[in-house]
């Protein structure tokens, strides 16, 4: 279980996260919803250890810095850095060398899972946006992570790719993984997630373990309309 307690993050005088607390349980997919600037990407970066913060993040009651090496994270946060002149497989193989235990990395299986086998030897510069997102997803899952943190994974992808991602996420859930997805595509998210968090102004404005019991779009619009400045 992931437990966040009183997370705070400032950029200068601006509080991007202001006392955020929540818990995420294994074998569940969670949606992270909010307006632009609500703190979604920053929250994902805090969990991933990509930025400093106040407050604590625990994995099975241990600080993330002390979690066992066997607990791996898969992340899709912001724009990936792949080399244009290398093939998709070469890019993933290069990244795999950075792992403490390269034997846990299964590149070909990940490429096949995202439907990229026929393109894995093509140069990255030839990839469409959707193909780049598929390669990024392959990167996120290639080390069989326990935790998946995905920031707008559906951006720029076609319905076929979205369906591929959705099926993969359900498979990861069935393996006992914890998945947290940030997305503006709330209708699509509603069909996929078990629970949801809505961020507004750096705070948790709503959270549920049973996303099927409410209309997340309606809840989000209601919160956005009554927040300071209204819809942004």
What distance in Å separates the CA atoms of residue 197 and residue 47, rounded to the nearest whole number? 15
What distance in Å separates the CA atoms of residue 137 and residue 139, rounded to the nearest whole number? 5
The tens place of each residue's pLDDT in the chain, 232 residues long, gives 899 999 999 988 889 999 999 999 999 999 999 998 899 999 999 998 889 999 999 887 777 666 656 568 899 998 788 999 999 999 999 999 988 777 889 999 999 999 999 999 999 999 998 999 999 999 999 999 999 999 999 988 889 999 999 999 999 999 999 999 999 999 999 999 999 999 998 999 999 999 999 999 999 999 998 876 444 3
* H or E segment to which residue 96 belongs: helix 88-96
Predicted pLDDT at 25: 94
Predicted pLDDT at 231: 43
Residue 183: how many other CB atoms lie within 10 Å: 19
Domains of the chain with CATH codes:
1-71+179-232 (3.40.50.300)
* 80 neighbors 154 (Cβ within 8 angstroms): no
pTM beyond 0.75: the answer is yes
Predicted pLDDT at 72: 82
Predicted pLDDT at 102: 78
CA distances from 61 to 52, 54, 65 (A): 20, 17, 12
Strand pairing class (147-151; 73-76): parallel
pLDDT digits (tens, 9 = 90+) for 61-92: 777 666 656 568 899 998 788 999 999 999 99
Predicted pLDDT at 66: 64
Predicted pLDDT at 55: 93
Predicted pLDDT at 62: 75
Task: Pull the structure tokens for residue 96.
Answer: 């795999």
CA distances from 100 to 43, 142, 146, 217 (A): 26, 14, 16, 41
CA distances from 209 to 84, 153, 190, 197 (A): 41, 22, 12, 9
Radius of gyration of the chain (CA): 18
Category of 230 on φ-ψ map: left (φ > 0), alpha (ψ -120 to 50) or beta: left
Predicted pLDDT at 232: 39
Residue 197: how many other CB atoms lie within 10 Å: 23
Strand pairing class (62-63; 54-59): antiparallel
């Amino acid at each position: 279980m992931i437990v966040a307690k009183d997370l705070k993050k400032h950029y200068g005088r601006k509080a991007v996260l202001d006392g955020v607390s929540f818990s995420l349980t294994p074998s569940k997919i969670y949606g992270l919803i909010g307006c632009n600037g609500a703190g979604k990407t920053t929250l994902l970066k805090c969990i991933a250890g990509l930025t400093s913060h106040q407050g604590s993040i625990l994995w099975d009651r241990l600080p993330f810095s002390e979690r066992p090496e066997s607990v791996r994270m898969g992340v899709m946060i912001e724009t990936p850095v792949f080399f244009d002149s290398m093939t998709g497989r070469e890019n993933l193989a290069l990244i795999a060398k950075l792992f403490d235990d390269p034997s846990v990395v299964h590149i070909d299986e990940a490429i096949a899972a995202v439907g990229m086998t026929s393109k894995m030897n093509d140069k990255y510069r030839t990839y469409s946006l959707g193909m780049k997102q598929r390669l990024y997803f392959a990167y996120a899952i290639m080390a069989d992570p326990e935790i998946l943190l995905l920031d707008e994974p559906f951006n720029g992808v076609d319905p076929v790719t979205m369906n591929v991602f959705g099926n993969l996420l359900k498979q990861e859930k069935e393996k006992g993984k914890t998945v947290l997805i940030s997305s503006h595509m709330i209708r699509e998210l509603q069909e996929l997630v078990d629970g949801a968090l809505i961020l507004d102004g750096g705070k948790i404005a709503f959270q549920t373990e049973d996303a099927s019991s409410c209309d997340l779009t309606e809840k989000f619009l209601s919160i956005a309309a009554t927040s300071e400045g209204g819809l942004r």
